[in-house]
Structure 1
Amino acid sequence: MELIFATNNAHKLEEVQAMVGNKFTLKSLNDIGCTDDIPETGDTFEENAKQKTDYLIKHFQVNCFADDSGLEIEALNGEPGVYSARYSGSRDMEQNIDLVLEKLKDNTNRKAQFKTVISLFLNDHQHFFEGTVEGTIINERIGTKGFGYDPIFIPTGFDKTFAEMTPEEKNTISHRSIAVSKLVEFLCPEGSSYSI
């Protein structure tokens, strides 16, 4: 069975394909000729992920899944949340990180979590899968790996930021790997456990 992943990130596509094995053939947006800028105007990760699958259902009539992710900081009432990629008004992650650090500079509550929600539309039914990882926002950037807010986020139980971890280390505990593992378990319940 073919399943469309609402992404054009080839690396991400390959990783998830390896997890689902040969039960499903995953295809990207490019593979189905979707070059549209799919809107993400929801107030929650669930709404944004569902917007993407709804769009593909309406325009391409396909079984598909999509994800939306971001950082939620307790002292900032859940910000940047769905605006994580453009929190400062731009997609420049250095500016986004600067804004977070500025807003938290006099705050002792540094609790935060990364969250991913996957929306799956399969055989006329909608399903959601969520992954979260809790942690702490530190005062300065540490590490050069990863992306986004990784240099200022230390997951609970660890003593280094996501940006200091190898991809393998991060992917064993990340919000995205948790959500994708739930998706894979749903799609391939007899399959082995995987991580991405």
Structure 2
Amino acid sequence: MSGHERRLVIASGNQGKIREFKQLLSGLPIQVEAQPDGLDVDETGSTFRDNARIKAKVVARLTGDWALADDSGLSVDALAGAPGVHSARYAPTDQERIAKLLNALNGVADRSAHFCAALCIAAPGGELLLEVEGRCDGSIASEPRGDDGFGYDPVFEVTGTGRTFAEMTPNEKKKHGHRGRAFALLQPELDRLLAKS
């Protein structure tokens, strides 16, 4: 590949998410950038995939680079799939979101839930280059556990592990997590795109 690497802008203002993507993308011949400060995209979609598309297209158009957006969230069966696409806006802070969720599940026996991550890469002309979705099943713990991760990680216990995302190393989270799984689907496709361009 030639000396200049393709820039890929992460369509997110979430520092935790940007860090995670930089780790996930570290093996590829691309320069990963955060989206410009102060950029706020209205997420008006009704599904994770819709929102990922909206964010990727807007950021690609505004930056003139390829943009990678993810829309992900937590869906809890007993809450009819809530918080779902509103996961990030469920309450003002991570702590408050977790407290609100645990409160909503107070006394509820069925604590099954899943995380879904939809990833989308768009080109500046509005073309969708890639779309994938990853899913991770688990349940909501009765109280937060672990010091790593962000968002709902301390209360999401991954099926078959007995541990929350916040109790896992980054590599374990990559292996089990919805974003890591979506990324495993994305990476070979992105390799092909990069080889073509």
TM-score band w.r.t. shorter chain: 0.7 to 0.9
Amino acid at match of 1:99: K
Q: 1:116·1:132 contact (CA, 8 Å) conserved in 2?
A: yes
Amino acid at match of 2:130: H
Match for 1:145 among 138, 144, 148?
148
Amino acid at match of 1:15: Q
SS in 1 for 2:135: strand
Q: State which drifts further: 157-166 or 49-58.
A: 49-58
Q: 1:103 to 1:46 in 2, by over 3 A?
A: same
Q: State which drifts further: 136-145 or 71-80.
A: 136-145
1:24-55 CA distance string (max 9 Å, x none): 4433323xxx6421222222211111111221
Tell me, yes or no, if structure 1 residue 45 matches structure 2 residue 48: yes
How far does residue 112 in structure 1 lie from its aligned partner after superposition?
0.2
2:166 maps to 163
Q: 2:11·2:55 contact (CA, 8 Å) conserved in 1?
A: yes
Paired with 2:188 and 2:151, the residues of 1 have a C-alpha distance of 28
1:193 maps to none
Paired with 1:76 and 1:185, the residues of 2 have a C-alpha distance of 35
How many pairs are equivalent? 184
Paired with 1:141 and 1:60, the residues of 2 have a C-alpha distance of 38
1:115 maps to 116
Amino acid at match of 1:26: V
Match for 2:34 among 22, 25, 28?
28
Q: 1:125 to 1:143 in 2, by over 3 A?
A: closer
Q: State which drifts further: 46-55 or 6-15.
A: 6-15
Q: 1:35 to 1:101 in 2, by over 3 A?
A: closer
Paired with 1:68 and 1:51, the residues of 2 have a C-alpha distance of 10
Task: Report runs of 4+ in structure 1 exceeding 4 Å deviation.
Answer: none
Query: Which ranges of structure 1 fall in alignment gaps of 5 or more residues?
Result: 191-196
Paired with 2:48 and 2:42, the residues of 1 have a C-alpha distance of 13
2:20 maps to 12
Q: 2:130·2:189 contact (CA, 8 Å) conserved in 1?
A: no
Tell me, yes or no, if structure 1 residue 128 matches structure 2 residue 134: no
2:8 maps to 3
How far does residue 176 in structure 1 lie from its aligned partner after superposition?
0.6
Query: Percent sequence identity over matched residues?
Result: 34
RMSD (CA atoms): 2.4
Tell me, yes or no, if structure 1 residue 100 matches structure 2 residue 106: no
Query: Which ranges of structure 2 fall in alignment gaps of 5 or more residues?
Result: 1-5
Q: 1:80·1:87 contact (CA, 8 Å) conserved in 2?
A: yes
